[in-house]
Structure 1
Amino acid sequence: MAGVLGIGADIRHWTPEQRTEAASWIARYKEIRDVIMHGTVQLIGDPGRPRCAVQYTAAGRDSVVVLAWHTGRLNGTGLLPSRPVRLPLAGIDPASVYRHGEQRYSGSHLTAVGLPVQWTAEHDAELVVPRRV
């Protein structure tokens, strides 16, 4: 989903469950496509570090899309429940409040402290869409 969404597989060989999952990801991409295609892009970290994310910010700063990946080994920092990885966001309104699911964050918190993401050996990527409330 970073930039465009593409499927690089022969879907004729997929199970019904795989097709259902793919359909849900395609629907999710359609919800955020405008921000990804027309928003401002920021790189958080880099692929050579244990975390890497791409942030897309809508022109009015009302919506942010963060695609994050853990690029390191999944055996230490960032895996402990008390130590989420923090992704400092850029270009958002520090005076506003942003919501993702049930979580609410001030723009200044997201900029200074960062958006928390939690990695596990089974879960090493995240799609987060904070929206201004």
Structure 2
Amino acid sequence: MAGGVSRGLDPRPRSLAFRFVLAMAGVLGIGADIRHWTLEQRTEAAGWTARYKEIWDVIMHGTVQLIGEPGRPRCAVQYTAADADTVVVLVWHTGRLDGTGLLPSRPVRLPLAGVDPAGVHRHGEQRYSGSHLTAVGLPVQWTAEADAEVVVLRRA
């Protein structure tokens, strides 16, 4: 156990965010005894659960696409809503958290599928052309503290 969160078969320490984002690629089953979690962990878990409820419909009913593969620094699952207006990308850094992919100048790029090349999608304040998302890819930055992310792109 590391910080009250079981590592399971993966000997590398993983954040609670990593476990939740991974579990979001399905029915959000965590498989841990939360009675032993700290208040901070339970609060973080509540936030991840609320986030999952916001994107559940796209995950359950959208078109799914695997990007990369487990065991590689680029591993994600893309869900695209039927109207293609919303794209949810669940992404994990499955490699080492102390080297490759962590330098600010070297983001991991996730080429997306099924995005209208002529369209524009936004994530927060950031805007991406569809052609950029499919050809160059969605940039994701990793740090030792951030090993997973949920990106929700909405057509602008």
TM-score by length of 2: 0.81
Q: Determine the C-alpha separation between the residues in 2 that align with 1:17 and 1:123.
A: 16
* 1:112 pairs with 2:149: no
| Higher alpha-carbon deviation: 46-55 or 108-117 | 46-55
1:98 alignment partner in structure 2: 121
| Contact 2:74–2:109, Cα closer than 8 Å, also in 1 | no
* 1:22 pairs with 2:22: no
* 1:13 pairs with 2:31: no
Alpha-carbon displacement from aligned partner over 1:81-102 (angstroms, at most 9, x marks no partner): 1111000000111111100011
Residue 19 of structure 1: CA displacement?
A: 1.8
Equivalent position to 1:79, from 87, 102, 106: 102
Q: Determine the C-alpha separation between the residues in 2 that align with 1:45 and 1:117.
A: 13
Structure 1's 16 and 121: CA in aligned 2 closer, same or farther, altered over 3 A? Answer: closer
DSSP 3-state at the match of 1:129? strand
Residue 12 of structure 1: CA displacement?
A: 2.2
Q: Determine the C-alpha separation between the residues in 2 that align with 1:74 and 1:11.
A: 25
1:34 alignment partner in structure 2: 57
Calculate percent identity across the aligned residue pairs: 87
Q: Determine the C-alpha separation between the residues in 2 that align with 1:39 and 1:96.
A: 19
* 1:4 pairs with 2:9: no
Alpha-carbon displacement from aligned partner over 1:14-63 (angstroms, at most 9, x marks no partner): 33222221111111000000000000000001113222000000001000
* Structure 2 residues without counterparts, runs of 5 or longer: 1-23
TM-score by length of 1: 0.94
Q: Determine the C-alpha separation between the residues in 1 that align with 2:71 and 2:46.
A: 32
* 1:125 pairs with 2:153: no
Q: Determine the C-alpha separation between the residues in 1 that align with 2:143 and 2:69.
A: 19
* One-letter amino acid of the counterpart of residue 39, structure 1: G
Aligned length: 133
* One-letter amino acid of the counterpart of residue 124, structure 1: D
* One-letter amino acid of the counterpart of residue 118, structure 1: Q
